[in-house]
Amino acid sequence: MVKKADLSSGKASSILLILAVMILVLIVGVFIFIKFGATKKTADQTSTTTEDQGPPPPVYETQVGNVKFMVESAEDLGKVIRSTTTSYQQNLTTTERFIKVIVGAQNKGKENTQQGAWDVGNIIDSEGRNFVSINNQAYFYLPSQNFCGAILKPEFEFTPCINLYEVSRQSTGLKVKVVAAGGGGSKGGEDLLDLLIK
| Cα Rg, the chain, nearest whole Å | 34
pLDDT digits (tens, 9 = 90+) for 49-85: 555 678 889 999 999 999 999 999 999 999 998 877 6
Give the distance from CA 38 to its chain's centroid: 32
Residue 131 near residue 123, CB atoms below 8 Å: yes
What are the residues whose beta carbons fall under 8 Å from the beta carbon of 65, sequence distance 6 or more? 109, 180, 181, 182, 183, 186, 187, 188, 189
Return the bridge partners of 119, or none.
179
Q: Are strands 92-107 and 67-81 parallel, antiparallel or unpaired?
A: antiparallel
pLDDT digits (tens, 9 = 90+) for 126-185: 999 999 999 988 888 887 778 999 999 999 999 999 999 999 999 999 999 999 987 766
Helix (H, G, I), strand (E, B) or coil at 83: coil
Model pTM score: 0.70
Residue 172 vs residues 58, 117, 125, 128, 175: alpha-carbon distances, Å? 13, 29, 6, 10, 9
